[in-house]
Amino acid sequence: MTDVKVIQGMSNLEYHSNQALGSTTLKKIENNSMEIPHDMKYREIHAKNSSYPDTMSAGLRMGQMIHTAILEPDNIDADLEKYCKRNKNGSLSAVGIKEHAFIQALTSQIQDLKKNDSSTRGEFLRSLIHTETSIFWEQDGIECKARLDGYTKRAMGEVKSIRSGANYITETECRNYHVQLAWYMIGAEQAKLNLETVYMFWVETYGLTDYSPDEILEKPIKMKLFEVMPKTISEGYAKAQHLFERYKSCKEKNDWFDKQLDEIGSLELRPFAFQFIKD
């Protein structure tokens, strides 16, 4: 095994341009394995595009600013300048003005939580000692990588945004966040960080079109901290290892075809959807 590298302050572009296996590719092996060779071939180009505001979706732009507001608040002014939606002449668009207001409100409310919230949520935010930590290691001949949002002396924290009204558990299951967290913990173990607990800090977003910028500045933002239970992380570990073995096999054989595409699937509505016919 090669030396493990732990890098603080690596840019998003540099990290995502790296060809090592990360959690995004690991999760993709489950249902979109055929896309991986293309994605790897154009990794650097995609990384540049995903870091360029004009090519980013509203969700990506907002997610980037939410991360910065929580994890690197000293850099939030630069992010507001870069990622808020703008007109062709460089001025903030109507959407950009509301995005700017939302992130300003979030930054202010996060600062207030750090100063005045005596709960576990406030303590967690105050205790983050390292943010945006990139880890690189080798596993069974495969170069691997992970990027931790933040960690304390004994706990890892992951920041996620979620649309208002969505279910936290369903979102975690559907997006394989438990696999992502387990992969990060594997990286942390390689780096000998000795992290024992995993937290997810969620920020709820809402439809900005329904509010004026002044209303957005004053509207409370729902933020919730969850401790991820050990059984969930264990399931993530097991699935991550399963997906890693599939990735390794595909890479060794240079065969990325998804065998499930050759099978005829069965499609039926879920039981509650049957309203007009009876068994």
pLDDT digits (tens, 9 = 90+) for 91-124: 999 999 999 999 999 999 999 999 998 988 888 8
Six-digit token string for 65: 């600013």
Architecture of the domain defined by 5-239: Alpha-Beta Complex (3.90)
pLDDT interval class at 1 (50, 70, 90): very low
Tell me which DSSP letter residue 21 carries. Answer: B
| pLDDT at position 120 | 85
Nearest residue to 154 via CA among 102, 109, 199, 201: 199
Chain center to CA of 181: 10
pLDDT tens-place string over residues 216-248: 999 999 999 999 999 999 999 999 999 999 999
Is pLDDT at 32 greater than 80 in this prediction? no
From residue 155, alpha-carbon distances to 7, 49, 199, 202 in Å are 18, 32, 7, 16
Reading across the β-sheet that carries 223-227, which strands appear in turn? 5-8, 130-139, 142-151, 155-163, 197-205, 223-227
Cα–Cα distance for residue pair 258/166, rounded to 1 Å: 30
Dihedral pair phi/psi, residue 18, rounded to 5°: -65, 135
**Cross-strand pairs, 41:** none
